[in-house]
């Protein structure tokens, strides 16, 4: 804003200078008055009497070529000064307009940067929220994975042969008898209050059912459902969690 004020002050100063110059030029005394004074002085010194004839007989004063050239040069200089002043005013106006245009562009760019900054701030907040949600999701996945690992029934390679043999023996049994044995295996330790042993025995029952033939397995679970439906349902669910070791 200070630059604009300085430019305007410069234009006003130039205009004042031009006005003073023009006023001094138009108010200066004419050149013919100075030329007439020597003639009057010469007449007075010689004592000659001015002619008193008709006005048409008086010869008008003439300007010398040097004085006429000087007048033309002054007029040309005055005209040149006025033209230069006009050009200067036009140039200053153009600079002011250019300054205003650039100032508007700067304001527009400033507003655009503010909008971009606000948008970026919102994006950062959104990303932070997504990061928190992602961290919570990862924690949930880890927790579920740990729970799955705890509930998974793994069959070690060393015990696979024994389990296969036991399952083959259960396949040859009566479904009712096999169902009673597996029921007692899965619930016997629980009745005695040993939770760890109950979990191990339940896993053993699941492993034996896993290696039994599908037809026999179905008959055993059907018999078990008549006496212990909750246990039959639990064994069916844990059969999906059996994983053989490699």
Looking at residues 87-96, what average pLDDT do you find? 88
Distance CA 187, CA 180 (A): 11
Percent of the chain residues topping a pLDDT of 70? 58
Question: Which strand (E) or helix (H) includes residue 1?
Answer: none
Domain ranges of the chain: 153-244
| Residue-by-residue DSSP string for 104-137 | HHHHHHHHHHHHHHHHHHHHHHHHHHHHHHHHHH
User: Mean pLDDT for the chain?
Assistant: 74
Check if the beta carbon of residue 67 is closer than 8 Å to that of residue 31.
yes
Query: Residue 56 has what pLDDT?
Result: 42
pLDDT reading at 24 higher than 70: no
Q: Is residue 118 over pLDDT 60?
A: yes
Phi and psi torsions of 108, nearest 5°? -65, -45
Lowest mean pLDDT segment, chosen from 15-19, 117-121, 229-233? 15-19
For residue 46, name the pLDDT band (cuts at 50, 70, 90).
very low
Q: How many CB atoms lie within 10 A of CB 25?
A: 13
| Contacts with 224 (C-beta within 8 Å, 6 or more apart), sequence order | 179, 182, 183, 231, 232, 235
Question: What pLDDT shows up at residue 194?
Answer: 54
User: Residue 13 CA to chain centroid, in angstroms?
Assistant: 48
Express each pLDDT in 191-219 by its tens digit.
555 555 566 788 888 888 888 998 988 99
Report pTM.
0.39
Judge whether 199 and 188 are in contact, CB under 8 Å.
no
């Amino acid at each position: 804003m200070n630059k604009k004020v300085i430019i305007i002050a410069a234009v006003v100063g130039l205009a004042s200078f031009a006005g003073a110059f023009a006023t001094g030029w138009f108010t200066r005394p004419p050149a013919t008055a100075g030329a007439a004074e020597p003639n009057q002085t010469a007449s007075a010194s010689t004592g000659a009497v001015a002619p008193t004839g008709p006005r048409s007989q008086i010869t008008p004063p003439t300007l010398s070529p040097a004085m006429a050239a000087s007048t033309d040069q002054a007029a040309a200089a005055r005209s040149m000064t006025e033209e230069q002043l006009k050009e200067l005013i036009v140039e200053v106006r153009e600079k002011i307009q250019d300054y205003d245009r650039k100032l508007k562009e700067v304001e527009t760019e400033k507003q655009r940067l503010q909008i971009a900054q606000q948008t970026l701030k919102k994006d950062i907040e959104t990303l932070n929220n997504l990061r928190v949600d992602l961290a919570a999701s990862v924690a949930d996945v880890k927790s579920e994975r740990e729970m799955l690992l705890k509930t998974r029934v793994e069959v070690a390679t060393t015990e696979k042969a024994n389990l296969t043999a036991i399952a083959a023996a259960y396949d040859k049994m009566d479904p009712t008898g096999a169902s009673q044995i597996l029921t007692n295996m899965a619930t016997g330790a629980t009745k005695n209050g040993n939770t760890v042993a109950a979990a191990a025995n339940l896993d053993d029952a699941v492993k034996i059912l896993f290696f039994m033939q599908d037809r026999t397995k179905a008959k055993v679970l059907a018999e078990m459902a008549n006496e212990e439906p909750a246990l039959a349902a639990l064994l069916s669910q844990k059969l999906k969690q059996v994983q053989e070791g490699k």
